[in-house]
């Protein structure tokens, strides 16, 4: 969660190296998988994929294979499947949120229409499971089931998020449950899928899955902090956007649990001017919500790193997993 | 395809008996499966399912198990999975088509909003594959792969259909390919999934799959006929609706292939008054498009029934499959 590298971090491999390697292994296989989609859908899929993406989930899959002593290449099919499911969720979420841009390009629905975006997402999630099931070895079948379960949990998290829009208050526990579903489920699956495909024993798979789940919550805590206090030139989102949209984020849930002052409660429910957004952010800071959210994120990052020490894993891959964990939870990203 | 029962048909079991049996076996299992979805999604799913549905696909799954000498109960998990995928496609298609009503009730998106309808469909298709993979016996894994493949083909058919809206002309071959994807793929999967789950040999599975695929095309031909010449009080759709919406249906493709008169071509591309719709329907009839579409449907129904005679199958179940085939292709439904 720290922005300046500490002495300990200086000895870690860089996340960018791991992610570049993941991209070079997985991107060609992903392109090949897309060729199997109906020609009518490929244009929308390529438009979406060409926007980029950091291959964090793909990197976690490959490293989890290496962490249990497997060949990273055995994880490629899982990495492709995870990226397909991740992109399915982005394409559908952009419709749901009404977002016109992603990665500085029009979203699929904005460019091709809602109908086309719906079936594009449908095709991606279906293809992910097809890929894993086509060679039905026990590890691949197990991987397919775990991916389907993670997808269902992610959809449930999205459903909780949408339902929360109708509510004025969300408890910290409810907020964490929702964020675990939306972000933690797929990261947990990614961080263990390579180990599953490599045929690792259950304790190793479970430890890696826990690493990914805690990392997802830590990531989401940082995302929520950046949505309120982030630098728009870095995040690419308007400042205070989450406050303006009355999103039920972790800092807001923490403030509510702390017994937020009436002024803040009012600001969290009304239409906000730029001055109001600044005032709300300042009041959230003053009531300790920012600090406590940082602490929640930090504790889940530590829990994630701790999970990696629970079982014997390959040291080099484990160091790379830790580097990715620090990278995705850095507050200057 | 005949409306009055012939002597041969009088000896067949009734489709309604088979479908009622399918409903009694599958509906409770379907309700139980829905309980596993996020509470936030159950209301929308139940709203959709309470609209009814004929359980045709569920019936085909159970009968295909019985046809290869298996227990119908062994097909129940497949029948639930097929119904989940079928309903996923209905929920998403209603958004895409902008349809406000289904079975005389508001569609999911009309009642709960587009975002909720998107994730409701996503949850249904994911649950279908989860159910089959949770007990990963080779037949169930094979069934899951076949269901994912059929789903992908169905999505491709929908993509072709949407792409055809931008075109003025569709060949008969292109139209049949699109309708095979949209309707034939899932019916083919349904009509063979019970046999797959019962561990039947490939020739039996293939014959049943061919039965379902041809049945899907025959069904679609009848659907296209009813969309132009059907009785609105029976079909529940406004008369000539497909012509008004310039849908690329089989009769229109046939007329175009026959070298439709210029008057008809104009009517097929312009905004239509009620009188225009009647005139277009009459001209389609006069150029032989209606008769030839009836013949195409009839030939695929015969091909479907012929597929059932290619391999040794249990007679009682085969007779019930034939009864369902006649039922879904009856022009007075």
B240 pLDDT exceeds 90?
no
| pLDDT tens figures, A267-277 | 888 888 889 99
Q: What is the mean pLDDT of residues B163-185?
A: 94
Distance CA B147, CA B128 (A): 9
B136–A118 CB contact, under 8 Å: no
- Provide the pLDDT for residue B61: 98
What average pLDDT does range A103-125 have in this prediction?
Answer: 96
pLDDT at A237 > cutoff 80: no
Residues 6+ apart with CB under 8 A from A309: none
Tokens describing residue A32: 């090949």
H/E stretch holding B105: strand B105-106
Residue B159: count of CB within 10 angstroms of its CB: 26
Facing B119 at nearest CB: one of A41, A129, A155 = A155
Average pLDDT, chain A: 93
Q: Say if CB A147 and CB B158 are below 8 A apart.
A: no
Tell me how close the Cα of B287 comes to any Cα of chain A, in angstroms.
Answer: 32
What would the mean pLDDT of A14-34 be, rounded to a whole number? Answer: 96
Q: How far apart are CA A99 and CA A152, in angstroms?
A: 23
Across residues B150-179, what is the average pLDDT? Answer: 94
Tokens coding A175: 């907020």
Contacts of B156 in chain A (CB under 8 A): 37-38, 40-41, 123
Query: How many residues would you count in chain B?
Result: 333
Residues 6+ apart with CB under 8 A from A260: A268, A283, A287, A289
User: What is the average per-residue pLDDT within A20-43?
Assistant: 97
Sign of CA dihedral B32, B38, B40, B45: negative
Please state, in angstroms and rounded to a whole number, the distance separating the CA atoms of residues A133 and B142.
8
| Overall average pLDDT of the B244-268 stretch | 89
pLDDT at A185: 98
pLDDT of residue A245: 84
Full-model pTM:
0.94
> Can you give the pLDDT at residue A11?
58
pLDDT tens-digit readout, A239-257? 788 898 888 899 999 999 9
Residue B27 has pLDDT above 80, yes or no: yes
* Orientation angle between helical segments A15-34 and A76-97, nearest 10 degrees: 80
On the question of pLDDT at A6 being above 60, the answer is no
Whether residue A282 has pLDDT greater than 50: yes
Q: Say if residue B280's pLDDT is above 60.
A: yes
The residues near B65 (Cβ < 8 Å, ≥ 6 apart) are B71, B72, B74, B75, B78, B194, B195, B197, B198
As a whole number of angstroms, the distance between CA A134 and CA A128 comes to 10
> B5 pLDDT band (50/70/90 cuts)?
very low
Cβ contacts below 8 Å, chain A against chain B, sum to 129
The 10s digit of each residue's pLDDT in A193-205 is: 999 999 999 999 9
Residues with Cβ within 8 Å of residue B262, at least 6 apart in sequence: none
ipTM higher than 0.85? yes
Is residue A67 within 8 A of residue A315, CB to CB? The reply is: no
Q: How far apart are CA B72 and CA B57, in angstroms?
A: 14
Beta bridge partners of A101: A106
User: Residue B333 has what pLDDT?
Assistant: 58
Contacts of A175 (CB under 8 A, 6+ apart): A248, A249, A250, A253
More confident residue, B247 or A35: A35
* Residue A102, H or E segment: strand A101-102
Query: Residue A41 is nearest to which of B41, B138, B159, comparing CB atoms?
Result: B159
As a whole-number percent, the residues of chain A with pLDDT over 90 amount to: 80
Kindly state the average pLDDT of the residues B86-111. 95
pLDDT, average across residues A147-169:
94
Distance from CA of A284 to the nearest CA of B (A): 29
What are the C-alpha distances in Å from A103 to residues A51, A52, A99, A142, B221? 6, 7, 11, 33, 44
Between B171 and B234, the more confident residue is: B171
DSSP A69: T
Nearest-Cα distance to chain B for A131, in Å, is 9
Q: Indicate whether B301 pLDDT > 50.
A: yes
B332 vs B305, higher pLDDT: B305
pLDDT of residue A9 exceeding 70, the answer is no
Tell me whether residues A156 and B96 touch, CB distance under 8 A. no
Q: B330 near B1, Cβ under 8 Å?
A: yes
Where residue B4 falls among pLDDT bands split at 50, 70, 90? very low
Question: What was the pLDDT predicted at B100?
Answer: 94
Distance from CA of A62 to the nearest CA of B (A): 24
Between A298 and A12, name the one with better pLDDT. Answer: A298
**How far is residue B211's CA from residue B82's CA, in Å, rounded to a whole number?**
17
In whole numbers, what is the pLDDT of chain B averaged over residues? Answer: 93
CATH second-level architecture of A7-328?
Orthogonal Bundle (1.10)
Res. B155: pLDDT tops 60: yes
d(CA B281, CA B255): 11
Give me the mean pLDDT over the B14-36 stretch: 96
CA–CA distance, A154 with A122 (Å, rounded to integer):
15
Q: Which of B112, B129, B167, B180 to mutate to test the interface with A (most CBs of A within 10 A)?
A: B129
Q: Which two tokens stand for residue A256?
A: 């509510």
Checking A139-143 for CB contacts under 8 A at 24+ apart, the result is A139/A196, A139/A197, A139/A198, A139/A199, A140/A77, A140/A197, A141/B133, A141/B136, A141/B141, A142/A196, A142/B136, A143/A78, A143/A81, A143/A193, A143/A196, A143/A197
Distances in Å between the Cα of A249 and the Cα atoms of A110, A327, B217 are 26, 21, 50
φ, ψ at B178 (rounded to 5°): -65, -45
Which tens digits make up the pLDDT trace of A60-104?
A: 999 999 999 999 999 999 999 999 999 999 999 999 999 999 988
Lookup: tokens for B51:
């609209």
Q: Is A105 helix (H, G, I), strand (E, B) or coil?
A: strand
Quick one: average pLDDT of B225-252? 85
Q: Do B156 and A38 touch (CB under 8 A)?
A: yes
pLDDT of B10 above 70: no
Confidence of residue B205 (pLDDT cuts 50, 70, 90): very high
Per CB-CB distance under 8 Å, the chain A contacts of B37 are 152, 156
Q: How many helices (H) and strands (E) does chain A have?
A: 18, 2
User: Residue A224 pLDDT more than 70?
Assistant: yes
Dist. CA A155–CA B41, nearest whole Å: 9
Ranking B181-190, B225-234, B300-309 by mean pLDDT, the lowest is B225-234
Extract the tokens encoding A196: 């599953």
Chain B residue nearest residue A93, CA to CA: B115
Confidence of residue B2 (pLDDT cuts 50, 70, 90): very low
């Amino acid at each position: 969660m720290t922005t300046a590298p500490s002495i300990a971090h200086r000895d870690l491999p860089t996340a960018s190296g791991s992610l570049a390697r993941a991209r070079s292994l997985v991107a060609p296989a992903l392109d090949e998988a897309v060729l199997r989609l109906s020609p009518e859908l490929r244009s929308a899929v390529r438009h979406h994929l060409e926007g980029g993406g950091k291959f964090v989930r793909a990197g976690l899959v490959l490293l989890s294979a290496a962490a249990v002593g497997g060949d990273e290449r055995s994880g490629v099919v899982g990495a492709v499947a995870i990226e397909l499911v991740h992109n399915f969720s982005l394409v559908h979420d952009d419709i749901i949120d009404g977002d016109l841009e992603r990665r500085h390009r029009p979203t699929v629905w904005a460019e091709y229409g809602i109908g086309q975006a719906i079936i594009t997402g449908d095709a991606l999630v279906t293809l992910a499971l097809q890929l894993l099931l086509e060679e039905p070895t026990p590890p691949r079948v197990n991987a397919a089931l775990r991916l389907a379960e993670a997808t269902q949990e992610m959809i449930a998290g999205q459903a909780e998020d949408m339902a929360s829009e109708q509510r004025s208050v969300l408890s910290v526990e409810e907020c964490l449950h929702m964020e675990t579903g939306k972000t933690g489920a797929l990261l947990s699956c990614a961080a263990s899928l390579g180990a599953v495909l490599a045929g690792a024993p259950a304790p190793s798979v479970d430890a890696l899955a826990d690493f990914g789940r805690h990392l997802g919550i830590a990531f989401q805590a940082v995302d929520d902090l950046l949505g309120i206090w982030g630098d728009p030139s870095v995040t690419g989102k308007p400042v205070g956007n989450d406050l303006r949209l009355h999103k039920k984020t972790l800092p807001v849930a923490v403030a509510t649990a702390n017994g937020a002052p009436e002024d803040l409660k009012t600001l969290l429910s009304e239409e906000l001017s730029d001055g109001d957004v600044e005032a709300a952010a300042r009041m959230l800071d003053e009531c300790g919500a920012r600090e406590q959210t940082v602490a929640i994120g930090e504790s889940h990052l530590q829990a994630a790193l701790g999970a990696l020490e629970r079982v014997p894993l390959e040291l080099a891959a484990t160091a790379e997993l830790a580097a990715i964990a620090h990278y995705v939870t850095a507050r200057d990203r």
